[in-house]
Amino acid sequence: MYVVMNRLTVSEENTGRLEEGFSRSVERMKSVPGCVAFTFLKEDGIEGDPVYISMTNWESEEAFHAWTQSEAFRASHRNAGGTGAHGEIHMYRAVFS
């Protein structure tokens, strides 16, 4: 299992737009080959700008990289810059699951 987490910091006024954009990902990611699960989280109990985590679980690292090279990936990220979110990507290989 390969897990990819994108930690997104966004201003309060852009949270609705960010959440709306990621809400479309729930169904879309179900059809992506190799994607086992998609979860979108909002960090709770923090001060300052809201923080979200987009987390995907993959069958393999290769499946994740195939997704990032696909036209479907490019299409889903075309308008991602409109929220002003700052992302920080973290990738993990499962040791136990």
Q: Is 92 helix (H, G, I), strand (E, B) or coil?
A: strand
Mean pLDDT of 9-37: 93
Question: Which pLDDT belongs to residue 80?
Answer: 66
Helical H runs in the chain? 15-23, 25-30, 61-68, 71-77
Highest mean pLDDT among 16-20, 23-27, 52-56: 52-56
Beta carbons of 57 and 36 less than 8 angstroms apart: yes
The pTM assigned to this predicted structure is: 0.89
Q: How far apart are the first and last CA of the chain?
A: 8
Beta carbons of 6 and 22 less than 8 angstroms apart: no
Question: Which pLDDT belongs to residue 59?
Answer: 98
